[in-house]
Structure 1
Amino acid sequence: MKNLLKMAFIAAAIFVTSCGKSDDQTNNQTNNQTNNNNNNNLVGSWIIESETENGIAKVLNECEKKNTYTFTADNKYSLVSYDKNPANNQCKENLEEGTYTITGKQIVLTEKGDRIGEADEATFSIANNKLTLTFEDFNQSSSATETTVYIYKRK
């Protein structure tokens, strides 16, 4: 009887352990597939369509309407943004380059030269060839969280 009980206990332990590993592997594979799908959908160039700051739509000038993100399959990105020079009304180009990582619906953008902890983190989604990036920053002077939503369309 003791041997039968011992065998049942060992069988149960093996069953529980094997299920745990398989479930963990399945969950990891599912998460990796989701991240790969998000990465594959993100790859390409995106031009700004709109910007909203704390729920208020910002009117983009002709220079800002050229702002473009480009994401590559090897987890690199570039942001070409433009500012209007008030002295001559010309668009001044600014280039930001770096790497990105995706975890679920979060994207972390680390610009070249950033120190640890300086990366920008945003929630993102892609639907109908539109990329939505939502950044939340805590403003210490106003003690409020500021939310900026950018919508880009695929080029």
Structure 2
Amino acid sequence: MGNIFKAVLVAIAFFVMSCGKSDNFDPKDLVGSTWYLESVTFGDTSYHISNCAKESKIVFTDTEYTKTEYAGTDGNCTPSNKQVGTYTISGNAILVKYGYNSNTNAEPKITISGKKLTLSEYKKGNTGKETPLIKVFVRR
């Protein structure tokens, strides 16, 4: 009976540890990874995104961050905006510093949890008020 109890405790401990590890962000996994847009929320509103918009992606190299947004009609998707910068990692947050070819001064906050990358930044809404823009990306 004691051995069965110990085996169950070991199995539970292993399960808890393996679940926790799956949510941890390992910076080594970032290099060479490509993340594709899954959802967009502006303020309190979630938006439907087209198949072209779902081709929007973030790519990380050893030192560079590239975000390419796509637009158009399905089957005729073209890049509509590209931002390139450098990045540093602090815990599970990625701090981006845009390069010279960026058309915005806003630097996003990026976090990774499990297999989801969340890009958060503020944009001016129709009222002129700064409103949170949240884009969630996933690996495919």
TM-score bracket for this pair, using the shorter chain length? 0.5 to 0.7
Match of 1:26 in 2: none
TM-score computed with the length of structure 2 as normaliser: 0.65
Structure 1 residue 80: Cα displacement = 2.5
In the alignment, is residue 63 of structure 1 matched against residue 52 of structure 2?
Answer: yes
Runs of 4+ in structure 1 deviating by more than 4 angstroms, as ranges, are none
Residues 141 and 150 of structure 1, relative CA distance in 2, 3 Å threshold: closer
1:151 is aligned to: 136
Of the two, which has the highest radius of gyration?
1
* Offset of residue 56 of structure 1: 0.9
Determine the C-alpha separation between the residues in 2 that align with 1:134 and 1:140: 15
Give the match for residue 14 of structure 2: none
Contact 1:106–1:121, Cα closer than 8 Å, also in 2: no
Q: What's the CA shift for 1:46?
A: 0.2
Provide the aligned length of Structure 1 versus Structure 2: 113
Query: Residues 141 and 55 from structure 1, CA distance in 2 versus in 1: closer, same or farther, beyond 3 angstroms?
Result: closer
Change (3 A) 1:119 1:73: farther
Q: Map of 1:92-111 to 2, 5 A cutoff?
A: 92-94=78-80, 96-102=82-88, 104=90, 105=93, 107-111=95-99
Aligned 8 A contact 1:106 1:123 in 2: yes
Secondary structure of the structure 1 residue equivalent to 2:82: strand
Please say if residues 38 and 137 of structure 2, whose CA atoms lie closer than 8 Å, have aligned partners that are also in contact: yes
**2:116 counterpart of 1:123:** no
Tell me, yes or no, if the aligned pair for 2:27 and 2:89 is still in contact at 8 Å.
no
- What does the per-residue CA deviation read over 1:109-137, in whole Å, with 9 as the maximum and x for residues that have no partner? 4144348xx54312221111110111113
Distance 1:95 1:122 in 2: 15
Normalising by structure 1, we get a TM-score of: 0.59
- Structure 1: give runs of 5+ residues left out of the alignment: 1-36
Per the alignment, residue 81 of structure 1 pairs with 69
Q: Work out whether 1:40 is the aligned partner of 2:28.
A: yes
Alpha-carbon contact 1:51-1:58 (below 8 Å) kept: yes
Q: Does residue 133 in structure 1 map to residue 122 in structure 2?
A: no
Task: Give me the CA root mean square deviation.
Answer: 2.9
The structure with more helix, counted as a fraction of residues: 1
